Amino acid sequence: MLPFAKAFVVGGILCVIGQILIDKTKLTSGRILVLYVCVGCILGGIGIYQPIEEFGGAGATIPLTGFGFRLAEGVMKEVDSAGILGIFTGGLKAAAGGVTAAVVFAFIVALFANPKEK
Amino acid sequence: MGAKKIGKQTVRLSEGVRIISAASTVSKKEGEGPLGKYFDKVIEDSMFGEKSWELAESRFIRENMELAVQKAGLKMKDIDYLLCGDLLNQCIASTFGTIDFQIPFFGLYGACSTMGESMSLGAMLIDGGFANHTLVGASSHFCGAEKQFRAPLSLGNQRPPTSSWTVTGDGAVVLAKKGNFPCITEITTGKVMDMGITDANNMGAAMAPAAVDVLVNHFQDTGRTPQDYDVIATGDLGDIGRNLVVELMKKEGYTMYPTNDKGGQFTDCGIEIFDKNAQDTHCGGSGCACSAVTFCAFFYPKLMSGEIGRMLFIPTGALLSTTSSQQGQSIPGIAHGVVIEGCGGKEGK
Amino acid sequence: MDTSKRAKQEYDQMVKKASPNSPIFMDCIKAFFSGGLICGFGQLLLDYFNESYTEDEAALLVSITLIAIAAVLTGFGLYEKIGKHCGAGTIIPITGFANSVVSPAIEFKKEGLIFGTGAKMFILAGPVIVYGTLTSMLVGLIYYFVGR
């Protein structure tokens, strides 16, 4: 299977699970994102997300579970190299690029864009 | 008990209070709806040339209220009291919109029932002999309401099928003692009703019990039945809410015929104002302006011409805040009933 | 009107019956294809960046690119138009995270750059960072004591 197809399927399935949660439980999108990050982080911590990532590639890292997974990997790597203090630095270090990108682009766009009516 | 009070929740005004003018100003989406041709003014730009949604709503209020007074052939200084409200925190749209009028002001909050509340109190002020003219109204703005109650406009979320669409605009009427105009005769003030609904995307269901409470008490207090009215119009219950009212009323022993049945008299302003399929508004319109502009643009001319002899107008409101919702409270509803007799209607003058 | 507990339960049932459900089947199909497409596109980007960068750098570049695209689409008011149809398909990917940061940044701009854009930027995404960090600490703690 092509990497593209694998990513498509894995990413698609993760989104469908989210859609079912939205439609069935009335959870707002903010809560779903929190849930996904935490679940991804835990699955990464216990080693379940790694095979999903190996198979799905971007399909597993682009959904927010992938963000959580990255936090888990980061913290474990940091614990390996820096010991107990790695618990404090590993997670956010791994998230730094994504969060900074979001802040920077949000700020730039907000400077130029105005709220629009639906 | 006051001499004008009849029954538990209703007052009968001694001489009736006339609605001598009505004005409605809305935005583009409302203008494209089924009632588009009835509104006095349709503003294409919902920002109304202002810097923010909040200021835009204030401008809707200011210009529309000026129009209402002008249509009544009066000047602002002729108005004794101004009563109005909106959905924004601390009613800022009303405050900043009417600051230039410099007339005695009662700011009201009844959520989307505000038009009923302001009409009730404005009429009572006149009937009580405290005023000759009162200017009353209510407003809302889709974007301001979304920003405050739900999510930023550019957030890519889905609106569930039970949700409704906040009407952008302002509706205002001028009330006076005399004249050959539609006449407010009775007022049934609603109680806060909470039937435990927590879904903020299903306001119709949260408000329907409040409307039913007003209806039942009104009929008990006056001894009338739904069939004594040409039109019974609730505020913004939408499809789901109206159906729930019909069901609940059946339990209470009253039969309400929705207007989609032939000869039915029971409608809802939220159903009238949008074409829910073509305009993707799901359950219908909502917001203070929903009942206010629908009354002013659609029902008032029919009362004026005598096409409607007697109408029971019941704006409905959901009394939630983001704080109460986040703290897990259910959504209480409120409704305010106002009886308006048309010119040369059933009972004649 | 009867407001007893039993009446409330009855009313709750009545409301459930009267309220239409979301068209879950169609929603899921749309979510699958839109979410899949974003991830597939991400994979193509990943393959492209992998040619000249390390694995970690490539992954970060993919995130940054997708966040930038989502931010621009949000600025033009297009992301919410797509999101209306795609639902979770555009919420779950990192683009949805970006959208939830950019949209309040724009919406609350009128309250100023400090207390509007600056303070409100993370009203939706803030909890994601908070609980993500907390969970990662938990994972790190367990890993430190039992995992290694």
- Residue pairs spanning A and C at CB distance below 8 A: 282
Are residues B151 and C103, on separate chains, in Cβ contact within 8 Å? yes
In a domain, C43, yes or no: yes
Q: What is the interface pTM, i.e. ipTM, of the complex?
A: 0.95
B281 secondary structure, DSSP code: -
pLDDT score for B346:
46
In a domain, B10, yes or no: no
Considering the domain architecture, whether residues B170 and B203 belong to the same structural domain is answered as no
Considering the domain architecture, whether residues B291 and B145 belong to the same structural domain is answered as no
Q: What is the pLDDT of residues A84-96, one digit of tens each?
A: 999 999 999 999 9
Are residues A26 and B143, on separate chains, in Cβ contact within 8 Å? no
Here the CATH number for the domain that contains residue B131 is: 3.40.47.40
The average confidence (pLDDT) of chain B is 95
pLDDT score for A28:
86
| A28: closest chain B residue by CA | B157
Give Cα A99 to chain centroid, integer Å: 11
CB-CB neighbors (< 8 A) of A118 in chain B: 142, 146, 153
Domain locations in chain A? 3-112
B2 pLDDT more than 80: no
C40 pLDDT more than 90: yes
> What is the arithmetic mean of pLDDT over C8-34?
95
| C109: closest chain B residue by CA | B52
pLDDT band at B1 (very low <50, low <70, confident <90, very high): low
Q: What is the pLDDT of residues B287-314, one digit of tens each?
A: 999 999 999 999 999 999 999 999 999 9
Looking at the 3D structure of chain B, how many domains does it have? 2
pLDDT score for B22:
98
pLDDT above 90: percentage of residues in chain B:
95
How far is the alpha carbon of C61 from chain A, nearest alpha carbon, in Å? 9
Considering the domain architecture, whether residues B214 and B151 belong to the same structural domain is answered as no
- Domain that includes residue C102, residue range: 20-121
CB-CB neighbors (< 8 A) of A58 in chain C: 39-40, 42-43, 45-46, 62
Q: Which residues does residue B136 pair with via DSSP β-bridges, in sequence order?
A: B83, B173
Distance CA B48, CA B28 (A): 11
In a domain, B145, yes or no: yes
* Residues with Cβ within 8 Å of residue B253, at least 6 apart in sequence: none
Are residues C97 and A67, on separate chains, in Cβ contact within 8 Å? yes
In a domain, B292, yes or no: yes
* Residues with Cβ within 8 Å of residue B192, at least 6 apart in sequence: B210, B319, B332, B333, B334
Considering the domain architecture, whether residues B57 and B170 belong to the same structural domain is answered as yes
Are residues B53 and A115, on separate chains, in Cβ contact within 8 Å? yes
C76 vs A: CB within 8 A: yes
pLDDT score for A26:
79
C16 vs A: CB within 8 A: no
In a domain, B349, yes or no: no
Q: What is the pLDDT of residues B69-102, one digit of tens each?
A: 999 999 999 999 999 999 999 999 999 999 999 9
CB-CB neighbors (< 8 A) of C108 in chain B: 147, 152
Interface test with C, best of A14, A39, A54, A62 (most C CBs within 10 A): A62
CB-CB neighbors (< 8 A) of C97 in chain A: 33, 64, 67, 98, 102
Instruction: Answer with the one of B130, B158, B176 that is the final residue of a domain.
Output: B176
pLDDT score for B345:
46
Q: What is the pLDDT of residues C74-115, one digit of tens each?
A: 999 999 999 999 999 999 999 999 999 999 999 999 999 999
Distance CA B4, CA A116 (A): 50
Considering the domain architecture, whether residues B190 and B165 belong to the same structural domain is answered as no
Distances (CA, A) of A101 to A97, B339, C95: 6, 59, 11
Looking at the 3D structure of chain C, how many domains does it have? 1
pLDDT above 90: percentage of residues in chain C:
95
In a domain, B193, yes or no: yes
Considering the domain architecture, whether residues B23 and B172 belong to the same structural domain is answered as yes
In a domain, C106, yes or no: yes
> What is the arithmetic mean of pLDDT over B162-183?
96
B121 vs C: CB within 8 A: no
- Domain that includes residue B156, residue range: 18-176
- Residue pairs spanning A and B at CB distance below 8 A: 25
In a domain, C143, yes or no: no
Pairing verdict, β B10-27 and B41-43: parallel
In a domain, B6, yes or no: no
Considering the domain architecture, whether residues B88 and B145 belong to the same structural domain is answered as yes
Considering the domain architecture, whether residues B69 and B209 belong to the same structural domain is answered as no
Considering the domain architecture, whether residues B127 and B240 belong to the same structural domain is answered as no
| B145: closest chain A residue by CA | A117
In a domain, C127, yes or no: no
pLDDT score for B79:
98
CB-CB neighbors (< 8 A) of B252 in chain C: 1
Considering the domain architecture, whether residues B142 and B96 belong to the same structural domain is answered as yes
B262 pLDDT more than 70: yes
Considering the domain architecture, whether residues B68 and B171 belong to the same structural domain is answered as yes
Q: What is the pLDDT of residues B95-133, one digit of tens each?
A: 999 999 999 999 999 999 999 999 999 999 999 999 999
- Residue C56 CB neighbour total at 10 angstroms: 12
In a domain, B98, yes or no: yes
Distances (CA, A) of A54 to A36, A66, B237, C55: 19, 12, 51, 13
In a domain, C55, yes or no: yes
Instruction: Answer with the one of B133, B156, B176 that is the final residue of a domain.
Output: B176
Are residues A59 and C36, on separate chains, in Cβ contact within 8 Å? yes
Residue pair B117/B336 in contact (Cβ under 8 Å)? The answer is yes
Q: Assign 3-state DSSP to chain B and report helix, strand, coil percentages, each to 5.
A: 35, 25, 40
In a domain, C115, yes or no: yes
In a domain, B302, yes or no: yes
| A36: closest chain C residue by CA | C92
B156 vs C: CB within 8 A: yes
pLDDT score for C51:
95
Considering the domain architecture, whether residues B194 and B329 belong to the same structural domain is answered as yes
